């Protein structure tokens, strides 16, 4: 089951869409967007690094909560 909505279900009035992303996925997506220009098509490596960054961010959040 994909978390990405069918294109026909997207709002056409400027409304928002809930993608059901985990916080890890959200952090990884932000990291990918920030670093995409540095990877020149090596998308598997970019995805790996983005999730490594997301995991580090989650660890830091966990430490701050203590």
The DSSP symbol for 6 reads P
- pLDDT of 21 reads 82
Whether residue 6 has pLDDT greater than 70: no
- pLDDT of 53 reads 96
Give domain status of residue 5, yes or no: no
Q: Model confidence over 26-61: pLDDT tens digits?
A: 999 999 999 888 777 888 999 999 999 999 999 999
Spatial distance between the Cα atoms of 35 and 45, rounded to a whole number of angstroms: 11
Range of the domain at 53: 21-65
How confident is residue 5, by pLDDT bands cut at 50, 70 and 90? low
Do the Cβ atoms of 56 and 21 come closer than 8 Å? no
Give domain status of residue 27, yes or no: yes
Phi–psi pair at 9, nearest 5 degrees: -95, 0
Question: Total domain count for the chain?
Answer: 1
Give domain status of residue 60, yes or no: yes
Spatial distance between the Cα atoms of 24 and 27, rounded to a whole number of angstroms: 5
- pLDDT of 17 reads 57
- pLDDT of 1 reads 43
- Between CA 60 and CA 66, with CA 64 as vertex, the angle to 5 degrees is 120
């Amino acid at each position: 089951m994909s978390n990405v909505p069918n294109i026909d279900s997207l709002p056409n009035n400027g409304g928002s869409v809930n993608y059901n992303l985990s916080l890890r996925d959200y952090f990884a997506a932000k990291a990918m967007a920030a670093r995409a220009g540095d990877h020149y098509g090596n998308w598997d490596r970019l995805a790996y690094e983005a999730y490594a960054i997301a995991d580090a961010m989650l660890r830091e959040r966990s430490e701050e909560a203590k």
